[in-house]
Structure 1
Amino acid sequence: MEKTYSIVFYSKELVEPVKKLKDFLRSKIKWYHSCNSEAHITICEFTIDESQLSSIKQKVSKISDTFTPFQVSLNHFSSFPNSGAFFIGVTEDSEKNLVPIMKKIHETLKFLKLKKSENPHMSIARQLSPEHLKTASELLTTVNFDFLCSQIVLREFDPIIKQFFVIDTFQFGSNPEPEFVQGSLF
């Protein structure tokens, strides 16, 4: 059976503070897309037959072992007006650490039809009307979160409750890939 999965950066410590921001916005503009989604930074999303999942997990586990933990700072609100997305943005330094990992995951899973995220951000709301986007930017003006990024998680989409839930965690192992050294026969 086909299921939808996503791979994300995830921090348990940020779930509650981000939920408070989302709940505050919801109290002003009512229900909106992503209002019930737990805090995360999306790397990619894909749909596969669940029989392929074990193989995907092996690949993600192997690549995660090569990553080294680092601090991520989120320090501003911004939006993608065309899609009505309102989000918390990462600092430049955090982006420099997140993007190479995102690209490495994309490359590792290139045989799948990926819905890729290229721009690391933590969504607060999606598909807002221009009026609600304006309201969000007036209500939520300052933010300063940080977390130790030491893992990525695999989430599965539940079509009944229409939310993703964590099904596996892949810790960063700080084990760089061995360099291939060309040997000599003579």
Structure 2
Amino acid sequence: MHDDATLIAQTRAWVEQVVIDLNLCPFAKRELVKNRVRFSVTHATSEAALIEALQEELLFLAGEDRIETTLLIHPRIYESFYDYNDFLGVAEGLLIELELEGIFQIASFHPKYQFGGTERDDPENYTNRSPYPMLHLLREDSLEAAIDAYPDVDAIPDNNIQMMNDMGTEKMKALLAGCLATGGGQ
């Protein structure tokens, strides 16, 4: 397994080359340029340890308004997308337990991400495929403000799916592989 600096470099490359360059999220570039995206790595190997890391990160964000969003990278747990997907309910439960529901929300990214009703290799799954399993912690008020200011926000998912389908699975695999080659390769 890579060191934290490499994991962060690969994830940052993915944010820059996939999320921003392909404009999958029109709100990401501003925060990355302003250095308001936190890349945090946890070496958790159990659900309990990941919950603890998630709690620490949520509490950190709650107390640090200079950071807009965190990508909590957890490469050592939930390699299976289905296990990861099941964990998302636990993560949402933690938001409720910490009384942070409505303040933060959690978006999900995984190397094997698969939307319901799709095949494993369908290109559209790459809108949420990342170098490593990660939880994206977002401030809801900032997200709502960005959405309110963006024209036709409802078209973003459909546009992203169309772009992924136009690019195709092989092109997206190559882009992701390029990100993994950053900082020492896989």
TM-score by length of 1: 0.30
* Rg comparison, structure with higher value: 1
Q: Tell which has more relative contact order, 1 or 2 (C-alpha 8 A, sep 6+).
A: 1
Instruction: Say which structure is richer in strand.
Output: 1
